[in-house]
Amino acid sequence: MELQSWLLYHLVAVTDCNQVMQSAATGGGGFSAGSSGSSRARDLGLRAQKKILGRVVSTGAGRSLLIDDATTSLLDNLYRLAERAAKNNPALDRKQPEKVLKNIVKLSIKIGLLQRNQQLGASDEPKIVEIRAALRAVAMAVVSFHELEFSFDNSYLTRSLERCRTAVQSLIKVHLTDKSQDRCDQVFDFLTHPEFLEAVFGQNSELRPTLELLVSDINKALDAGHL
């Protein structure tokens, strides 16, 4: 099952990693032949993928290699929204939007690596379903609050975002490190910040044109069944 959503919808470039694995399996990496060597080669390949991830995810060009155009546009508009909100509000840290973007990409690709390497089991399936449902609820709420004047409900959106946080944490805490869990918290700490939500959805918000771009991307994702 592909995790098709703005957080979990991506393809990982693994050509270099496969070359590393082939080298290890044929003795180029110093491993002996046999089942043990094959297993160790697989582990080496996964580590190589993570290393490549760390190098490319910090640049827009690198992200475009790993994430489809539609998701890239959605993430870019989310970043613009966060950046402009932080720039105009002293209660928000201006460094946080860039971290939000990087952490979303890192988490989504790491989960993708788990999936591609068949490290997600049957017990993870309900967690994936919950992530998709929680993301869809957030997406539909954002669209509704934008399109229906005076409909913004801070408490509802915060609860929906916290549901997302809980769902993602439930999946990654079994497979990823504490650092990845911290990245997840950083993302949702910012997105649920009352000052951020008020800056985006408050009456007469100056960010409405940017929000409209984000909503357009969300609607496309919903229509395509990615959310």
> What's the pLDDT score for residue 111?
87
Residue 80 belongs to some domain of the structure: yes
- Per-residue pLDDT, averaged over 147-176, amounts to 95
> What's the pLDDT score for residue 118?
85
> What's the pLDDT score for residue 69?
73
Length of the chain, please? 227
Residue 28 belongs to some domain of the structure: no
Q: 118 in the Ramachandran plot: left (φ > 0), alpha (ψ -120 to 50) or beta?
A: left
Indicate if the pLDDT at residue 212 is higher than 50: yes
Q: Which residue has the tokens 């949702």?
A: 188
Residue 2 belongs to some domain of the structure: no
CATH number at 133 reads 1.20.1440.160
| 85-129: pLDDT as tens digits | 999 899 999 999 999 998 998 888 888 888 877 889 999 999 999
> What's the pLDDT score for residue 35?
40
* Higher pLDDT, residue 105 or 210: 210
Residue 1 belongs to some domain of the structure: no
Q: How many folded domains does the chain comprise?
A: 1
Contact in structure between 19 and 26 (CB atoms under 8 Å): no
Least confident of 9-18, 109-118, 150-159, 210-219: 9-18
| 171-194: pLDDT as tens digits | 999 999 999 999 999 999 999 999
Angle at 121 between CA 169 and CA 7, to 5 degrees: 40
> What's the pLDDT score for residue 67?
60
| 21-80: pLDDT as tens digits | 344 334 444 433 344 444 444 454 455 455 555 554 555 544 444 566 778 889 899 999
pTM: 0.74
Residue 154 belongs to some domain of the structure: yes
| 137-149: pLDDT as tens digits | 999 999 999 999 8
Q: Tell whether the torsion through CA atoms of 69, 75, 81 and 87 is positive or negative.
A: negative
Q: What percent of the chain has pLDDT over 70?
A: 70
- Which tokens belong to 1? 């099952």
Residue 135 belongs to some domain of the structure: yes
Least confident of 43-52, 157-166, 206-215: 43-52
- Residue 181 to residue 184: CA distance in whole angstroms: 5
> What's the pLDDT score for residue 157?
97
Residue 15 belongs to some domain of the structure: no
Residue 111 belongs to some domain of the structure: yes
Its domain, for residue 156, covers 69-223
* Higher pLDDT, residue 88 or 134: 134
